[in-house]
């Protein structure tokens, strides 16, 4: 099982970025995938996840209305479209999967117990 996040970069406040999570070794039809982030000096937190069964999504409150998670099952890739970026969105973003829980609040809370993690990608929001 492998996950690889990419697409991070430097963006001004109010700008947009799209992160990609390339996956292998498991099926997006069977397991949910989540995005997590860790800001400097802070604990890692769950951002969003997308379910395996119907592609339903879940977001932490701070990104609702600004971030959109999606997937391309043929490309085995999960995306995180980030709009209206704020200074406080600066963090290393990771994608991860858990083979037990469905997507939801418990999934995003499982920060320290996800089964597989990809390497992170840095997102810096700065003027």
The whole-number pLDDT of residue 113 equals 86
Summarised one tens digit per residue, pLDDT across range 22-34 is 999 999 999 999 9
The pLDDT assigned to 112 comes to 83
- Mean pLDDT, the chain, as a whole number? 96
Strand partners, 93: 37, 121
Say how far apart CA 119 and CA 60 lie, in whole Å.
Answer: 21
């Amino acid at each position: 099982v492998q996950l690889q996040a990419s697409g991070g970069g430097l963006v001004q406040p109010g700008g947009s970025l799209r992160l990609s999570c390339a996956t292998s070794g498991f099926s997006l039809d069977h397991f949910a995938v989540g995005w997590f982030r860790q800001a400097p000096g802070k604990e890692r937190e769950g951002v969003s996840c997308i379910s395996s069964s119907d592609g339903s999504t879940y977001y932490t409150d701070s990104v609702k209305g600004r971030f959109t998670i999606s997937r391309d099952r043929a490309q085995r890739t999960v995306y995180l479209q980030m709009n209206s970026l704020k200074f406080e969105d600066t963090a290393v973003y990771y994608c991860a999967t858990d083979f037990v829980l469905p997507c939801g609040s418990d999934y995003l809370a499982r920060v320290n117990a996800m089964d597989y993690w990809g390497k992170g990608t840095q997102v810096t929001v700065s003027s």
